[in-house]
Amino acid sequence: MNLTARILTGMVSGLLLGLLIQQIGFTDEDWLGWFFVNGVMDAGGQIFIRSLTLMVVPLVFVSLVCGAASLGNTGSMGRLGGKAMGMYLLTTALAVTIALVVALVVSPGEGGVAAEAATSYEVREAPSFKDTLINIVPTNPIAAMAQGKMLQIILFALLLGVAFSRAGEPGARLYSFFQDVNAVLMKLITMLIQLAPYGVFCLMTELFATVAFAEIYKLIAYFLTVVAALLIHVTVVYPLILTMVARVNVLTFFSKMREPMLVAFSTSSSGATLPVTLRTVEHRIGVSNEVASFAVPLGATINMDGTAIMQGVATVFIAQFYGIDLSVVDYLNVILIATLASVGTAAVPGVGLIMLTMVLGQVGLPVEGIMLIIGVDRLLDMMRTAVNVAGDGMVATTVARTEDKLDMDVFADPDAGRVIEAGTSTT
Ligand code: ASP
């Protein structure tokens, strides 16, 4: 069985086992609860997520230094960065717009909402533009790495890579050393991803043993509206861009993106999935290291189409629940703020919901509305994270194609970069 099939098997069997355990019932005291669900399964899931997360900082740093070093020679970095940023922001704004339109058509918050809002919830203040800008520049790159501050790491790696390309002999020596480290790190991620089927199994078992289906039934209209908008975005917007701008086969793209999308779905973290996405985009899809090493980490950090979709639908839902009419200007505001909020959303589980307070606050909606939807957010987080990651891959592929940095032979080869057996791959 190939890795994708094994991950899927782990996912489905975890889901079924979790449902069975939920049927049997357990408490925190009995062995099924404390030993199996909260013990073994929880530990297995966390170990898997941590084993991916441990790769993020070294992989992004080394890979991006290499990318910037080879781009530094050609001087095309500015154009490439501009394209990637522009596409990330544009697709996110489009995602919120789709979400708003779908939500306004479906009206999930009108009538028949059984949920109740709690009375208080803390508003999250939007950081100022000035602070955001200042914070991209690290005062101490080692501290930035230790704290996993992705934008600071990206900036430092870019500068260092450019310096490599301009430093003559010493730069060239270091560049070739970094390329070796990069190859070794890629091998390490190929090894660690072997854990995915087991990790995914543990995560699914724990989730479906504990997920509150009653909450979902109460909010079924909201839940399905978010799912519909996510589906429209992935099956209409991405294929259109891939066909018209990137001019590549959409099915091939998605069949190669399956692995990172499944890992994103199971972990609910585009940050933890980043090493898998980077490996897929470079070795399975054929995006050159210069583009992938920059576009993918940047995407994982600032590009959250799925999150923005949830925020758009949630805004309409909460407004309808409280009977508050929003004006066209409000909706335009939502598009702007949700796009910016998704830039500021950390790529870890559940943060999209916290950032929603920012959007609600901006258009004067009661922030307590969050409590209405919190019960179903766990499952929606999984789906939107898969969309976030698909968006990163789509933009990286499109930018690479327009820059003539997509290897079409790799793209067309179904076996390129495929993980074959423990620790080995075709590249
Ligand atoms: N879990 C999402 C991600 O990591 C962020 C969110 O929407 O909460 O991409």
Report pLDDT digits (tens) over 303-357.
999 999 999 999 999 999 988 999 999 999 999 988 988 877 777 888 888 889 8
Q: What is the pLDDT of residues 240-256, one digit of tens each?
A: 999 999 999 999 999 99
What average pLDDT is seen over the chain? 90
CB contact at 8 A, 38 and 196 = no
Decide: 348 in ligand 1 pocket, CB within 6 A. Answer: yes
Q: How far, in Å, from the CA of 386 to the mean position of ligand 1?
A: 9
pLDDT of residue 73 exceeding 80, the answer is no
Among 137, 96, 140, 146, smallest CA distance to 306 is for 96
Quick one: tokens of 114? 């059984």
**What is the reported pLDDT for 114?**
59
Mutate to test the pocket of ligand 1, among 269, 302, 359 (most ligand atoms within 8 A of CB): 269
Report CA(271)–ligand 1 centroid distance (Å): 8
pLDDT tens profile 86-137: 999 999 999 999 999 999 999 988 865 655 655 555 666 666 778 878 989 9
Task: Specify the ligand 1 atom closest to the Cα of 306.
Answer: 7
379 C-alpha to center of ligand 1: Å? 11
* pTM of the complete model: 0.90
Q: How many CB atoms lie within 10 A of CB 375?
A: 17
Q: How far is the CA of 387 from the centre of ligand 1 (A)?
A: 10
Residue percentage of the chain with pLDDT more than 70: 93
Q: Which atom of ligand 1 is nearest to the CA of 381?
A: 1
Task: Please report the pLDDT score of residue 91 as a whole number.
Answer: 97
Beta bridge partners of 419: 425
Q: How far is the CA of 184 from the centre of ligand 1 (A)?
A: 29
- For ligand 1, whether the C-beta of 277 sits within 6 Å is no
The answer, yes or no, to whether residue 263 has pLDDT greater than 70, is yes
Q: Which atom of ligand 1 is nearest to the CA of 310?
A: 7
Q: Which of the four pLDDT bands, split at 50, 70 and 90, describes residue 292?
A: very high
Ligand 1 centre to CA of 330 (Å) is 24
Establish whether residue 268 lines the binding site of ligand 1, counting it when its CB lies within 6 angstroms of any ligand atom: yes
Helices (H), 137-167: 141-146, 150-166
The one-letter amino acid code at 277 reads T
Position 389 confidence tier, pLDDT thresholds 50, 70, 90 = very high
Asked if residue 247 lies in contact with residue 398, where contact means CB atoms within 8 angstroms, the answer is no
Q: Which residue did the predictor score with more confidence, 136 or 397?
A: 397
CB 101 within 8 A of CB 204: no
Atom of ligand 1 nearest to the CA of 272: 4
CATH code assigned to 3-412: 1.10.3860.10
* Residue 77 pLDDT: 79
**Could you give the angle at the alpha carbon of 387 between the alpha carbons of 97 and 273, nearest 5°?**
145
